[in-house]
Amino acid sequence: MPTYQLKVNGTSKTVDVSEDTPVLWVLRDHMELVGTKYGCGIGQCGACTIHVDGTAMRSCSLTLSQVEGKSITTIEGLSEDGSHPVQEAWKEVDVPQCGYCQAGQIMTASAFLESNPNPTEDEVKNAMHGNICRCASYTRIKTAVMKAAENME
C-alpha cells in the first residue's frame, strides 16, 4: 500500500493505506482522531467536517492525494484546550443534545467565521445549512455562532 505524509493538527504523520481510503477513515481508524464523525459518507451531512488549509471540507469525500502537503485541522486540534471562541460559545449556549454532529458544526462555524467575522443571521444560516443536526438544535447553533462572532471581535 502507498504511504502518505499528512500534516494533522500541526504534526506530520506517515500513513500506509490504500489510495481510495477517505481522509475521514484515516483520521478515525489510523490516527485515533475519532472526533471527526461518520454520518453519511457522501458529503451530505457535514458530521465529518475538517479544515484543509483553513477551508471547511467534508473528510468523507476527500482522498489522501487531495490533502497531501496541506495542513489539516480536526476538532481535536481546533484549540489546545477547547478554548476556541466557537467552542466557548458552544459551551455557553449549551448547544448539544446527542452531540454527535457538533464537532462538524463547530468546524464549519469556525472556518466560516474566519472568512466572515461579522456575519448577519442570514449569512450564518446559509453557512450552517449544509450541516444536519438530527436533534434539531439549530436554534442554539445559530445563537452560538452569532455569540462566537461577537466574542471574536
Q: If binding is defined by CB under 8 A, does position 2 make contact with other proteins?
A: no
Among 31, 67, 72, 101, binds other proteins (CB under 8 A): 101
- Shortest Cβ distance from residue 137 to other proteins (Å)? 6
Q: If binding is defined by CB under 8 A, does position 120 make contact with other proteins?
A: no
Q: If binding is defined by CB under 8 A, does position 112 make contact with other proteins?
A: no
Q: If binding is defined by CB under 8 A, does position 76 make contact with other proteins?
A: yes
- Shortest Cβ distance from residue 33 to other proteins (Å)? 7
Cα 92 to Cα 40, 61, 101, 128, 130: the distances in Å are: 29, 32, 18, 19, 23
SS3 track for the chain:
CCEEEEEECCEEEEEECCCCCCHHHHHHHHCCCCCCCCCCCCCCCCCCEEEECCEEEEHHHCCHHHHCCCEEECHHHCCCCCCCHHHHHHHHHCCCCCCCCHHHHHHHHHHHHHHCCCCCHHHHHHHHCCCCCCCCCHHHHHHHHHHHHHHHC
Among 49, 59, 73, 87, binds other proteins (CB under 8 A): 87
Q: If binding is defined by CB under 8 A, does position 85 make contact with other proteins?
A: no
- Shortest Cβ distance from residue 97 to other proteins (Å)? 4
Binding part of the chain for other proteins, among 51-59, 63-71, 90-98, 112-120 by CB under 8 A, reads: 90-98
Q: If binding is defined by CB under 8 A, does position 72 make contact with other proteins?
A: no
Among 116, 126, 150, 151, binds other proteins (CB under 8 A): 126
